[in-house]
Amino acid sequence: MRGMTVTTSASPSAFWADADRHLVRYAGAGRFTPEIIDRAAGSFLYTEDGRKILDFTSGQMSAIIGHSHPEIVATVREQVGRLDHLFSGMLSRPVVDLARRLAETLPAPLEKALLLTTGGESNEAALRLAKLVTGKHEIVSFARSWHGMTQGAASATYSAGRKGYGPAAPGNFAIPVPNAYRPDVTTSDGELDWRRQLGLGFELIDAQSVGSLAACIVEPILSSGGIIEPPAGYFAALREKCRERGMLLILDEAQTGLCRTGTWYAFQRDGVVPDILTLSKTLGAGLPLAAVLTSAEIEQEAHDRGFLFFTTHVADPLMAAVGNTVLDVLIRDRLDERAAELGALLRGGLDQIARRHPVVGDVRGRGLLAGLELVADRESGRGSDELGALVTRRCLELGLHMNIVQLPGMGGVFRIAPPLTATEEEISLGLAILDQAIGDVVSGSGAAAS
Please say if 219 is a catalytic residue: yes
User: In Å, how far from its chain's centre is CA 372?
Assistant: 16
β-bridge mates for residue 140, sequence order: 173, 216
Mode of pairing for the β-strands spanning 37-41 and 382-383: unpaired
Pairing verdict, β 110-116 and 290-295? antiparallel
Of 146, 264, 316, 406, the active-site residue reads 146
In angstroms, rounded to a whole number, what is the distance separating the alpha carbons of residues 326 and 34? 31
Contact assessment for residue 228 and residue 142, using Cβ atoms and an 8 Å cutoff: no
Q: Which of 393, 415, 426, 440 does the annotation list as catalytic? A: 415
- DSSP letter for 260, please: T
Say how many C-beta atoms besides its own lie within 10 A of residue 296's C-beta: 12
Known catalytic residue: 415?
Answer: yes
Question: CB of 92 within 8 A of CB of 448?
Answer: no
How many angstroms separate the CA atoms of 424 and 96, rounded?
Answer: 36
**Active-site residue (options: 281, 347, 364, 366):** 281
**DSSP secondary structure code for residue 169 in this structure:** P
**Which of 124, 252, 373, 426 is labelled catalytic?**
252
Instruction: Determine which one of 121, 219, 275, 426 is catalytic.
Output: 219
Catalytic residue (one of 255, 364, 394, 406): 255
> In terms of Cα–Cα distance, which of 83, 81, 119, 79 is closest to 283?
119
Integer Cα distance of 156 and 123 in angstroms = 10
Instruction: For residue 146, indicate whether it is catalytic.
Output: yes
Neighbours of 26 (CB within 10 A): 8
Phi, then psi, of 125 in degrees rounded to 5: -65, -40
DSSP β-ladder status, 276-279 and 382-383: unpaired
Question: Strands (DSSP E) along 258-329, which ranges?
Answer: 276-279, 290-295
Residue 255 CB contacts under 8 Å (≥ 6 apart), including other chains = 61, 219, 221, 223, 281, 282, 369, 417
**What does R_g of the chain's alpha carbons equal in angstroms?**
22
Quote helix, strand, coil % in the chain, to nearest 5.
40, 20, 40
Q: 119-134 and 296-304 helices cross at what angle (nearest 10)? A: 70
d(CA 44, CA 147): 28
Distance, CA of 383 to CA of 181 (rounded, Å):
12
Q: Is 117 helix (H, G, I), strand (E, B) or coil?
A: coil
Instruction: Kindly list the catalytic residues.
Output: 146, 219, 252, 255, 281, 415
